[in-house]
Chain A
Amino acid sequence: MKVLHDTWLIFHRNLKLMLRSPLWVVLGVSQPVVFLLLFAPLLKPALATMGAHSQAQAYRIYVPGMLVALALAGGLYAGFDLLRELSSGIVERARVTPVSRLALLLGRALRDVVVLVVQAAIIIVLSLLFGLTVSIPALLIGYGILALITLTSASFSYGVALKIKNPAVLGQLINNVAQPLMLLSGTLLPIALAPLWLRDTANGNPFNWAVTGMRALFTGHPGDPSIWKAFAMLGGLAVITIAWSGRKFAKSVR
């Protein structure tokens, strides 16, 4: 399969280059880690309305939301990396070869998934020290949700970067997408605190289902319907975004 072969090629190359500056991965995770440490004492009282009666319970609500936010943000900012590659001529160099255009996208987006897996592991391990408990199967299913989110957000960001090409404009646009999306998904603040009309939008928001599903997994309810709903909606969204962004790679004109 040419797509798979080429995806592996691009993935491998991009991962290898990123490992040469691992600081990047660490910096990406530093903000959530700081949040984790700073807000730890405040979590229990703040999340009491959501049923957090102990520190461990508070973490089961807080950490899943934070992981979803991390997957969203990490992917959305991936486009900046592509802008750098565009200006150095690497993308164009690939586009005069018969390499699969979809692979140019998927190889990069999967690299971003690996970054997320590492970052999420750092946060989870730290949270375990604070009393978070989660079963291995639940964690693996949770990783599935996070991977779908990163695939979607990174593909979106790459597609937008190919269209916009201006880092300043890209930054503004990403901010304008990321912040409302995080708020509306209840990643950090529970959506239950929002006004009713806002809560209604949450039902159609795949990322909100992702947060709900992740919380169900971390609180030990792997059978909760929110989990398969999250998978179905995120899966659909990922396919649409990848198809759109892959087309941009096929005909990107600089």
Chain B
Amino acid sequence: MGIIEVKGLAKSYETRSRRKTTRVDAVAGVDLDVAEGEIFGFLGPNGAGKTTTLRMLATLIPPDAGEATIAGANLRSQQAKVREAIGYIAQGGATTDDATAREELVLQARMHGISKAEAQRRAVAALAAFELTEYADRACKTYSGGQRRRVDIAMGIIHRPKVVFLDEPTTGLDPQSRAHMWDEVRRLRSEGMTVFLTTHYLEEADVLCDRVAIIDGGVIVAEGTPDTLKREISGDIVTVGVGEDFAEKAGEVLTGQDYLTEVEVRDGGMLRLAVEDGGTAVPRVMRTLDDAGIATSTVEVHRPTLDDVFLTKTGRSLRES
């Protein structure tokens, strides 16, 4: 049984502009099953419904339909128990300009009913763990984006929740801070927490997450480990360079080979081949071309990216949207 189980979760908004009332199905029936100790990624473009889903699971907005249990507590009937079990770190952050990181951490702990002395102890430990000790007594408005984001996360887990919801933890951070944040997220998991994060970075979903659900227009279009998702779609992509003069001929020779699912002749004397497994296909491609007297100048194997997955499921590229 998963630590987060969601069935048919839905939420729509009515927005009024001038005369017209439009209905937005922000989340249109989402099913999820997240296992304990996972880093689960929610990948989707702007407006896909990621934040809305998270806010519902964090007890902040009531769902229109659907059921969910988080750490064994029912989302509708046991909100207090859900709140005990979760930490929620909002997309926009939640630090106060004029407060210091230490004050924020102590307050957050005390709002969870932790005693003053214990709250102060935990704040000190959290500051050290998130490498914030140096800035602990400076107003949050003087922090860098990455430092401020780390305060947000430290606040979200100060009560040691079982499940952490992280809404776009790395949006707006430079590559170095992003890598730092990934380490923090992995540390949360190593401390026994289940992490449910949203992102619209392909690489983040791919590298950081154990399992990914791709959401678009309020519905989940694909779900699985990054590897299975990518493999499921199209195997591997092999690009072979043979030069302008031989491209046509190479295309003819390769078409119909049973280990190739797709053969496409491209400009510049290149061939794009969709194969089931790049490792075994490449030697066979080379041999076939060699037998036909065609020399290959370059061979490259691409693993399909999550963007290829998104593309096949929605017809759009995540990079463009």
Q: Residues of A at under 8 Å CB distance from B? A: 2, 6, 9, 13, 16-17, 20-21, 85, 88-90, 92-99, 253
Contacts and interface: CB of A to CB of B under 8 A. Distances in A.
B96 interface: yes
28 contacts: A6-B111, A9-B107, A9-B111, A13-B99, A13-B107, A16-B103, A17-B98, A85-B96, A88-B92, A88-B94, A89-B92, A89-B93, A89-B94, A90-B96, A92-B60, A92-B94, A93-B88, A93-B108, A93-B155, A95-B60, A96-B88, A97-B111, A98-B84, A98-B111, A98-B113, A99-B112, A253-B60, A253-B61
Contacts of A20: 98
B55 to A, nearest CB: 8
B83 interface: yes
A17 B107 CA distance: 12
Given A17-B96, A90-B96, A98 B83 contact: yes
Interface string B121-163: 0000000000000000000000000000000000100010000
B94 A93 contact: yes
Contacts of A94: 111
B97 A88 contact: yes
Most buried by B among A6, A90, A93: A93
A146 B131 CA distance: 47
Nearest to A17: B98
Which size class do B's interface residues fall under?
20 to 34
Closest 6 CB pairs of A and B: A89-B94, A93-B94, A99-B111, A97-B111, A96-B88, A89-B90
Contacts of A85: 96
Most buried by B among A2, A21, A90, A94: A90
A67 to B, nearest CB: 29
B86 interface: yes
B80 interface: yes
B53 to A, nearest CB: 15
Q: Is the interface of B mostly helix, strand, loop or mixed?
A: loop
B171 interface: no
B99 A93 contact: no
A13 B96 CA distance: 11
A117 to B, nearest CB: 22
Contact of A93 (B90, B97, B98): B90
Q: Is the interface of A mostly helix, strand, loop or mixed?
A: helix
B94 A90 contact: yes
A231 B189 CA distance: 56
B59 interface: yes
B95 to A, nearest CB: 8
A185 to B, nearest CB: 35
A98 B109 CA distance: 11
Nearest to A6: B111
B176 to A, nearest CB: 25
B58 interface: yes
Most buried by B among A88, A95, A97: A97
A38 to B, nearest CB: 34
Nearest to A103: B111
A95 B159 CA distance: 14
Given A92-B90, A93-B94, A98-B80, 13 more contacts: A13-B103, A17-B96, A17-B98, A21-B98, A88-B94, A89-B94, A90-B96, A92-B94, A93-B88, A96-B83, A98-B84, A253-B60, A253-B61
B303 interface: no
A16 B108 CA distance: 16
A154 to B, nearest CB: 19
Contacts of B97: 88
Nearest to A18: B98
Contacts of B111: 6, 9, 94, 97-99
B60 A96 contact: yes
B231 interface: no
Contacts of A17: 96, 98-99
B86 A96 contact: yes
Contacts of A88: 92-97
A99 B119 CA distance: 15
Interface in B66-100: 80, 83-84, 86-88, 90, 92-99
B186 interface: no
B224 to A, nearest CB: 29
Nearest to A16: B103
B4 to A, nearest CB: 15
Contacts of A2: 113
Interface string B293-313: 000000000000000000000
A9 B80 CA distance: 20
B143 to A, nearest CB: 14
A217 to B, nearest CB: 37
A97 B108 contact: yes
A98 B60 contact: no
Given A88-B94, A89-B90, A96 B59 contact: yes
Nearest to A8: B110
Contacts of B110: 9
A98 B112 contact: yes
Contacts of A99: 111-112
